[in-house]
Chains A and B, each alone.
Chain A
Amino acid sequence: MSALFDIDLADASTFPSRRTEAWKYSDLRRYLREAPQPSPTTAIGAPGPFYDLGGEAIVFANGRAVGVTDFIASGEQILRLRYMSDAVGTGHSAGARVVARPGARLLLLETHEGAGSAYVAHNTLELDVAAGAEVTRVVLAEEPEDALSIAQAQVRVEAGGVFRQTVIATGAKLQRVETRIEHHARGAHVQADGLYLLDGARQADLTSVVRHLDRDGTTSQLIKGVARDTARGVFQGKIVVERGADGTDARMGHHALIASQRAEIDAKPELIIYADDVQCAHGNTVGTLDESALFYMQQRGVPADEARALLTQAFLIEVVDRIEHEGAREVVREWLTARL
């Protein structure tokens, strides 16, 4: 267990509860009072959603590494990082380390693929983006509705590096995708996007902390989500501009649709600024589908369900359109279309 990540599935005293501010909307201890039994070994099944894009792979099956756990990228590379779970009622942890060396261009395709049921997964990633390196990380988390899943990433972006990520989450009993980014600025750029698409009683929590540590860095964040039925979406986005990080430009936007009266969205956008001469902005909206647009579409013959799906897709697709890599973008677009 890395010191960077403070949850240890073998030690229930490390499970965060809502008493901890950063976990107030995602109370792990409410669902998990005792350490789960360790998950059994398992074989890897399906090839995963990004298989067709090729590249190298790091695979964990119920927490156990199938091969290497570390990867060093140089030049132009694709890495599929797969955290697979098919346990029933047990728990497992996995940790990977990825380094993008100076000048590398890495497409990191991370999947949290869940079969089985009621498992507990704690998956971590340490990622270093060197000066002049460019990493696009796409995280697709699709897990059973009764799973508990915590994914935590610690990302270090060196001066002049570029890190873009897009998290796509469908929720679980509790599914948290947390990203902490150390932004060394000096021309470095961070994009920290995400979308959640939740139905039933699923919950997804997209939490990010971007810390601008030096001057002249940019951050752009666009998160969009939809909650149907009794689902619950959580967005916690924090951007900290440390002393001396002048010239920072940081923009954060979170926009959610509530598609049912019993669905819930909790949003906590935070900008904490200790520097001068910075440009920071955040926008946060929660609304419903436009009734007049729905009627207009139906009046032209589009059935209500199809009209809702089309409007929902139109709302979410902006996040997908921002995925830099065309191949990954198309996979996500098709994936999304198939689920609306």
Chain B
Amino acid sequence: MLSISNLHVSVGDKPILKGLTLDVPAGEVHAIMGPNGAGKSTLGYALSGRPGYEATEGSVEWNGADLLDLDPAERAAKGVFLSFQYPIEIPGVPALTFVRTALNAQKRARGEAEVSAPEFLRLVKAASKALKMDFDMLKRPLNVGFSGGEKKRMEILQMALLEPSLLILDETDSGLDIDALRIVADGVNALRSPERSMLVITHYQRLLDYIKPDRVHVLAAGRIVASGGPELALQLEAEGYDKYLPAAA
């Protein structure tokens, strides 16, 4: 269970989230929709602990732990995974090396046994096959020269291997053609489980045709201003965000 209560987050001196309250029970998929500038990406960064995104008020509880007290790597070890809108390129670090380092660091932090090299290779080969990824690509530096679709698949591959319990997808559909979108959505749907919570952040309804949410929330001006079932997404698609925006001056 993710429980966000009255969360205020500033970037520099600028308040972005202004009292956001939201509960995501285990096993549910919640969509966060909203206009540009509403604070959607800020929410993803605040939950994952990006430096520069300062929580000035409120709390974020995840399975009994106060996330705001933890650094980003500690949050990851607790199961928090933020899928980036624009995954970062890391020259000089092969994708395989990176994922294995991350997986074993998480296991160490949780006091679990590390995964051996042969076992890891077996896991990666199975996961990359399911995502129709070329295994040789994983020997290349992480995301360097990857296409938009390849980068997103790389994110899904990491999810499949790291097995996070709280998945935050930030505009996962951006830059994807329809085939890539389907593969990515299938990858995410395969991870749906009663223990796993998902927060799907998106500007457009399109992604929600593929990843069906249990609940939809509208984020505007730093707060959740409306919540409903999947039909709310369709309504937003038809009517736009205008009625949730502050009246134009």
Contacts and interface: CB of A to CB of B under 8 A. Distances in A.
Nearest to A317: B92
B155 to A, nearest CB: 10
Contacts of A295: 50-51, 72
Place the interface of chain A in its size category: 20 to 34
Interface in A279-317: 290-293, 295-304, 306-307, 310-311, 313-315, 317
B127 interface: no
Nearest to B92: A314
B103 interface: yes
Interface string B70-108: 011101110011101001111111000011011101100
A318 interface: yes
B72 A293 contact: no
A298 B92 contact: no
A291 B51 CA distance: 9
B93 A311 contact: yes
Contact of A299 (B72, B90, B103, B141): B72
Contacts of A301: 73, 76-77, 102-103, 105-106, 109, 162
B158 A293 contact: no
Interface string B164-183: 00000000000000000000
Contacts of B202: none
Nearest to B143: A296
14 contacts: A299-B48, A299-B49, A299-B72, A299-B75, A301-B77, A302-B105, A306-B101, A307-B73, A310-B101, A311-B92, A313-B92, A314-B90, A314-B92, A318-B92
Contacts of A304: 71, 73
A310 B93 contact: yes
Interface string A225-266: 000000000000000000000000000000000000000000
A298 B88 contact: no
A315 B48 contact: no
A17 to B, nearest CB: 39
A303 B88 contact: no
Contacts of B109: 301, 303
A299 B105 CA distance: 11
Contacts of A293: 88-90
Nearest to B76: A301
Contact of B90 (A291, A303, A311, A317): A311
Contacts of B75: 299
Contacts of B87: 296
